[in-house]
Amino acid sequence: MEPVDLSTVGKSPVMTIAWKGELPGELVLLDQTKLPAEEVYLDCRTVEDVFGAIRRLSVRGAPAIGVAAAYGVLVGIQHAKDAELGSAFDATVARLAESRPTAVNLFWALDRMKRTFEATAGDEPSRRKRRLLEEAQTIHEEDRRMCADIGRHGAELLADGHRVLTHCNAGALATGGLGTALSVVYTAARQGKKLSVYADETRPLLQGARLTAWELSRADIPVTVICDGMVGTVMRQGRVDAVIVGADRITARGDVANKIGTYTVSVVAARHGVPFYVAAPVSTFDFDIVNGDDVPIEERSAEEITEGFGSRTAPYGVSTYNPAFDITPAENITAIITERGVIENPSEEKVRSHFSRD
């Protein structure tokens, strides 16, 4: 495919999520489990379709999960009879909430849809459905703008010639817009800065090798794939000028839950004096949790380790441990980049101050 024109920030290099039609309509998702070999789109017509897509990582990345969940509410209730709308709404929200436990954007988006549903309690059922669609579309559009704003603030931290290392995928594939961590790269490239990216594989599902490298290649940004175990060596050799990652949940004091392996990268970066940046929207912050150790961590199936992508890679009968996320403490983080600006050397006082701005 032809490289994507980065002359207009906010335009995504890929289509990850779309609502097709009005009401009734359907949610269309790029099936990221098929990348990079195939570009396949899923038509989600039932709540189980949406639940399955989120659960098996066909759609992934905290912001994208939130957008997909908002549209998933519509999928679940749009055909409900008037008298059954309330029960259908409750059942749909409850089911989608079970899909992934760590990404706070999922619950944030569902809460917004709940508030909209409650605020329209006196309206006709058709009007309530319409308002829910409008709210989901608003969440999607806000996500696009959020990505662009994160990119604008974060690009100031990168200089011409910088070599950036990223972990997992926090680009357009993980959001409804240009991405979080990769939005910083895309925006800096638009400004004329010549950048290159190291994408570590991100085991066990290889989101860095499969997704980040695929996405950056489409945007004509030089990318080098490395194994996770090579991160220390490339930093020790002075090949990395900055690390930028995304986040699935950020606590009140700035501890970050992100894809497993992020903590290790942060420790290596600190050892070698490489700035470690986290790019995430304000919706990713969870003020109900202060200490990162209290974040619920999803554990995924053993087969992701022992039979990754259809090939047996470990003996039968061995035990596995497969947490999907880990916690990077605030003291390992140089700055958190949000759509509101940059929180340098994050702490609870600085995070709360960031949110108290007009």
170-195 burial: b if 16+ Cβ within 10 Å, else e: bbbbbbbbbbbbbbbbbbbbbeeeeb
| Distance between CA atoms of residues 141 and 14, nearest Å | 15
Give the pTM: 0.88
The contacts of residue 133 (CB under 8 Å, 6+ apart) are 19, 22, 23, 25, 74
| Active site annotation includes 43 | no
Per-residue pLDDT in tens (0 to 9) along the chain, 358 residues: 333 343 333 345 678 999 999 999 999 999 999 999 999 999 999 999 999 999 999 999 888 999 999 999 999 999 999 999 999 999 999 999 999 987 788 999 999 999 999 999 999 999 999 999 999 999 999 999 999 999 999 999 999 999 999 999 999 999 989 999 999 999 999 999 999 999 999 999 999 999 999 999 989 999 999 999 999 999 999 999 999 999 999 999 999 999 999 999 999 999 999 999 999 999 899 999 999 999 999 999 999 999 988 899 999 999 999 999 999 999 999 999 999 999 999 999 999 999 986 5
The catalytically annotated residue of 143, 200, 228, 248 is 248
**What is the spatial distance between Cα 284 and Cα 63, in angstroms, rounded to a whole number?**
8
Smallest CA-to-CA distance from 71 within 98, 100, 40, 49 is with: 49
The residues, ordered by sequence, that sit 6+ positions from 325 with a Cβ below 8 Å of its Cβ are: 102, 248, 257, 258, 259, 260, 262, 295, 297, 298
Sorted by sequence, the CB contacts under 8 Å of residue 95 that are 6+ apart come out as 47, 48, 51, 76
